[in-house]
A and B are shown apart, each in its own frame.
Chain A
Amino acid sequence: MELVLAIAIGVLVASGVWLLLRPRTFQVIIGLTLISYAVNLFIFSIGGLRTGADPVLREVAGRIDQYTDPLPQALVLTAIVIGFATTALFLVVLLTSRGLTGNDHVDGGDGTP
């Protein structure tokens, strides 16, 4: 499971960075979204991966093999909310830029210097 998750995060980040460096605003926002997915998965996994474990101690207080750390889950929730809000804001700016300059190049031109 760790290997699958690691590969997934790696592929998401690689695609995200590639798209972030592209000249069209839509590609940039998709790239940022992919990177933020990867970062969220990464935060989620830092507490250690366990299947079927609760973030609360159910049985005996000593059995932490049945227990998953709740803090990364709280952190990832905050990160998702903030990432979502800023991406929405970025989308608005992107559309404004499209309206003002008439094209979707990140520099507002048609790509020719």
Chain B
Amino acid sequence: MSPHLLVAPIVLPLLVAALQLLAGERRQRLAVALSLASCLALVALATMLLLATTQQGGDGALAAVYRIGDWPARFGIVLVADRLSALMLLLAAVLALAVLPAALARWQHRGHYFQPLFQFLLMGLNGAFLTGDLFNLFVFFEVLLAASYGLALHGSGARRVSAGLHYIAVNLTASMLFLLGVSLIFGVTGTLNMAALAELIPTVPENTRTLLHAGAAILGVAFLIKTAMWPLGFWLPRTYAASAPAVAAMFALMTKVGIYVLLRLSLLLFGDGAGPASRNFGSDWMLWGGVATIVAGIVGMLGARDLGKLAGYNVIISSGTLLGAIALQQPAVTAGALAYLVISTLGIAAFFLVAGLLAPEGEEEADDALQLEPYEPMGGDVGSAGLYADEDESRVVIPAPVAMLGVSFLACTVLLAGLPPLSGFLAKFAMLAPMLDALALDAAPRTGALALFTLVIVAGFCTVIALCRAGIQIFWAEPERRFPQARVTEVSAIVLLLGLCLLLTVGVQAPLDFLHDAARQLHDPANYIHGVLPAAGASP
């Protein structure tokens, strides 16, 4: 494998986006072809990186470290690919490849420069997954956020602009906190390289350790805003519901970027090697924050009146579950959490696409959301007699698209709620079973882990309730409801996403083994540190 392969996932979307900008808005076919080629190439690149990381055997060595400009790690910026990075790269590439056709169907003509913005978003995502430097992480976060501002506003309209305004204001504030945290950490340690930081943290003198912790906490708050932890996540449901469905499907990955960074930094900087004063710093906050987030997500989901918001609160529940699970810092739980991360991202993305298809086409300009009927316990003037009186003998023929949408909706429900037999259940099981083991061994904080365990199951139950209610109202309660025509590309996107989840159900063993290796690698940061800083022992 060429060493320069590691920088390709960042450079490729950048080049493609630049070419698309040069080609201009009129040559749509060229832009689309370039986008598709870029996404296909990214999937291939990510697969190659993933395979390279699996060939390391069980020793947990890094797949590749790329020193930009060949400067030594402490002075230059490094890109690092370990199993987790490769996994996230592949997830981003696959999601982009699946979402792109859906965007082609009707959304890319609703505004300008959809394709270049999409590529810039991919560049930012890939960069954030690969970088090994805190300030570089900030830069890639800004790249992906700037692209996401453009995408969130794509299609314009008062509702979208108003939601986008909040989204941008919240994220600009988060960026300021990010900078404050990074600069505090730099002030204490004198480096921003993650590996060098991990090496330095045990040796930080006591009088500046509080400052380091303050910096890490401020930095953590910035990521928790992206992750939408309660009470920092009120921006999320409105923004995601207002975005175009294809964009919202891609945004399903954006909260996972926050999770990725928190997982990486909490294990690298404040893992077992961080010394007694800094060990497990912040993990209690993450655990209880995750628990509170799940509760907030359940309440919001049960109260949500349109499908977009329903999906948004599902994103919040999944964030809370992941936050709690990674805060337990058990390798087996982390592996299960990674499986849950993949499945919930794919499932929620598919759900956003289905919700977009179910929205009535004509009403889009006035109000994009699919409004569910207001709940009337007495049924109004349609009494119980009325329900049965107009029952017809002739069979209602369900046209094919409706059947397809119904099946997809059902599959999404089963996936998101974590019911057997689909992979959502397997992922939740892989996460919850080790949690019980940890509880039995007293390896995890007892009350927190129990609360998390209970709430994950309750959240699954409430997802079933909320989605069944929505499904009944959409598919059964309104026989005269007219469904918009689904185009082949949109349907293919949903089929691809759900098919992947199905595939992961059938062949779950190999991915799960890989995830266990990835979690083990994360919980043993010595490999990461020595991979990035080869002369770690020699330097002062």
Contacts and interface: CB of A to CB of B under 8 A. Distances in A.
A20 B184 CA distance: 23
B176 A36 contact: yes
Contacts of B162: 97, 100-101, 107-108
A94 B153 CA distance: 12
Contacts, number: 83
Contacts of A86: 142, 145-146, 149, 168, 172, 175
A100 B365 CA distance: 13
Range of interface residues on B (Cβ < 8 Å): 20 to 34
A39 B180 contact: yes
Interface centre among B135, B146, B157, B172 (most CB of A within 10 A): B172
A82 B156 contact: no
B168 to A, nearest CB: 5
Interface in A66-113: 71-72, 75, 78-79, 82-83, 85-87, 89-90, 93-94, 96-97, 100-101, 106-108
B165 A106 contact: yes
Interface centre among B142, B145, B166, B169 (most CB of A within 10 A): B169
Interface string B153-177: 1001110011011101100110110
Contact of B161 (A35, A36, A79, A100): A100
Determine chain A's interface SS by DSSP, over half rule: helix
A93 B153 contact: yes
Interface string B265-297: 000000000000000000000000000000000
Contacts of A46: 183-184, 186-187
A79 B179 contact: yes
Given A101-B162, A107-B162, 5 more contacts: A46-B187, A86-B146, A87-B172, A100-B157, A100-B162
Interface of A: 20, 25, 28, 32, 35-36, 39, 42-43, 46-47, 71-72, 75, 78-79, 82-83, 85-87, 89-90, 93-94, 96-97, 100-101, 106-108
16 contacts: A20-B169, A32-B172, A32-B173, A36-B172, A39-B180, A46-B184, A46-B186, A46-B187, A72-B183, A78-B135, A78-B139, A94-B165, A100-B158, A100-B161, A101-B158, A101-B161
